[in-house]
Amino acid sequence: NCDASASSTSSAPLAPSSASPSSSSSSAPLPAVPPMTGFIESYTAALHKYNKSEVPGSFIMHGFDPEHVPIITTLASEFALFDAWHASVPGPTEVNRCFAWSATSDGMATNDKWRIALGMPQKTIFQTLDEANSSWGVFFEDFPSAIVMSYPRYHLEHLHTMDEFKAMAANGTLPAFSFVEPRYYDDFGKPARDQHPDHDVAAGEEAMREVYEAVRNGAAWERSALLITYDEHGGFDDHVPPPTAPSPDGKVSTKPPFNFTRLGLRVPSILISPYVPKGTVVHGGDGGAVFEHSSIPATVRKLFAPAAAPLTRRDATAATFEGVLSLAAPRTDCPASLPPAPTHRAITPGLPPLSALGAAPMSDLQKGFAVVAAHVNGEMVDGLDGMVEREGAALVNRHMAALQARGSAVASA
């Protein structure tokens, strides 16, 4: 399986466009060019760690055939595919997502659930948009991971459900910048749609289809752009060495040692808009600039807060993608609907029924989300090591209902 799918949308008139942080910027030197070896060894070591059976090396090096992932395959051929969009860090989910929101992880190189429970303190693109009087929103199915950042916790009125996303898209009332998140927990008949192992990749395909069709058939389609990307590569092999990048803020991690001057592996990224020529392949940015997750705040700032300063050195130098919206007039041939994703059970017979979903132990990432949801709601949580996914989903749903009620009260005040 691949890793979490994070989708961000912007809808507005288009322009022609745990680690311990340290103030020191020194750390062990990185190799000039990563050798891009060790995928099989690393995968096998992880299997041993979690007491899983070994699999052939050829299996480890496999990917998905296009017919198994028809949604993202169709979108890649219909719109713009980035063939050199890199994760911001050769690290895990929340670290990379921090770069999508703030162009830094504040020196954090691992998913430190206790640190993110306290809230990441750095300035975010959400604050930049507020300062520019531009609108934003975070849309989620069970948990908005954006609240690992401190700023959104004080602006809960900006958190919305996926049903609200679809309604706003239909009416043409989405904010200037929308960050869309899939379901992270298997919960009885509701499969997780984040494509984290061992979740069903086909369910994530369905999430992409729903988001695309909502935007495509919405009232603001002709002034919208939808970016689909992945926070990290999910373990799939790649032969392209990640390039170097400037340290965002001079902070370094000590556990593990890392100075944030190397990008992560390439991740699938697709830009969708009626202003994107069909079949576009984007190799890189202007002047050799590289696309990475800091490209998201860099582009959003350029479009909706042009007078604002960059958040860090990363978004100051990252490639921006507004130039990919290069057509003078919107296309009229963009598909209004996409083919349904094949069920995982059709591809792999013998899997347990949907009614059995949620019986697996929670992953470390899911435990971290549960800790954050409880903490933001003013509670502490323990006993997570014995919880299965559906129990984690119930816990998170309870806390999110309380947070949404608080946000609604603020919005109506």
Classify residue 18 by burial, with Cβ atoms within 10 Å: 0-12, 13-18, 19+. middle
Can you give the residue range of the structural domain that contains 247? Answer: 64-354
Q: What tokens does 333 get? A: 């041939």
Q: Count of alpha carbons within 13 Å of 350, Cβ hemisphere only?
A: 1
Cα–Cα distance, 165 to 180 (Å, whole number): 8
Domain-embedded: residue 30: no
Domain-embedded: residue 18: no
Domain-embedded: residue 199: yes
- The predicted pLDDT at position 12 comes to 36
- The predicted pLDDT at position 16 comes to 29
Domain-embedded: residue 10: no
Domain-embedded: residue 306: yes
CATH number at residue 255: 3.40.720
Domain-embedded: residue 16: no
pLDDT in tens, 134-192: 999 999 999 999 999 999 999 999 999 999 999 999 999 999 999 999 999 999 778 99
Residue 288 carries which side chain, given as an amino acid letter? G
Domain-embedded: residue 258: yes
pLDDT in tens, 10-53: 443 333 223 333 334 445 565 688 899 888 998 899 888 878 88
Q: Count of alpha carbons within 13 Å of 96, Cβ hemisphere only?
A: 27
Which residues have CB under 8 Å from 388's CB, separation 6+?
A: 358, 359, 360, 361, 362
State the pTM of this model: 0.91
> Do residues 69 and 267 lie in contact, with contact meaning Cβ atoms separated by under 8 Å?
no
Domain-embedded: residue 378: no
Q: Which residues of the chain have pLDDT under 70?
A: 1-31, 344-352, 354-355
Total tally of structural domains belonging to the chain? 1
